[in-house]
Amino acid sequence: MRLFGKVPMRVSAAVAIAVVATTAFAVAQEKQTRAGITNYTRVDAVVACGGATETAALEGLKADGFKSVVNLRLSDERGANVEENEAKAKELGLNYFHLPFSRASPDPAIVDQFLTVLSDEANQPVFIHCASGSRVGALWLVKRVLQDGWSIEEATTEAKLIGLSTPGLEKFALEYIASHQKQ
């Protein structure tokens, strides 16, 4: 009889732990509506991600305490406004990193630069963007696994919440991880 009474407690404790863990994970990636930014996601206290970002939105990022902007768009993408955004960021005192990352031919050297920028605490809080969030998600997947020690499964789930939707980018990210993981 006693054993039966303890099983529900153990089950209840396990369920409570699972709920707390799931809730913490879900809260960590908070989608928000933000003027001038498509697909804005607050990942944690020092990182936010998004898609297409209007130049005027940089003022709001600065006001919210962001120190840096990482732009993964190619200069020749329609609506990228890389030079305009860089000038505005510098005017506002934001660090601006243009790391052009192509969906069609992703460059591992850009991933290396991305990881270096994000690992420097002087650049935090940082806002990372591309056009939709898919490239951001791919690079964030790499960062989570290689720098933060997350499992591939957890990091992929988060990357997809951020915007990773391109199978080729996901494949590239997983191959990059495999070739850079410490054995």
pTM: 0.84
> What does the pLDDT read at residue 28?
53
Q: What is the pLDDT of residue 80?
A: 95
Cis peptide bond upstream of 125, omega within 30: yes
- DSSP letters, 167-178, are HHHHHHHHHHHH
Q: Does domain 32-180 match CATH 3.40.50.1360?
A: no
Q: Which residue has the tokens 């997947």?
A: 141
Per residue in 33-78, pLDDT tens?
899 999 999 999 999 999 999 999 999 999 999 999 999 999 999 9
Cα 171 to Cα 69: distance, rounded to the nearest angstrom = 26
- pLDDT < 50 positions in the chain: 1-5, 7-27
CA distance 158 to 93: 30
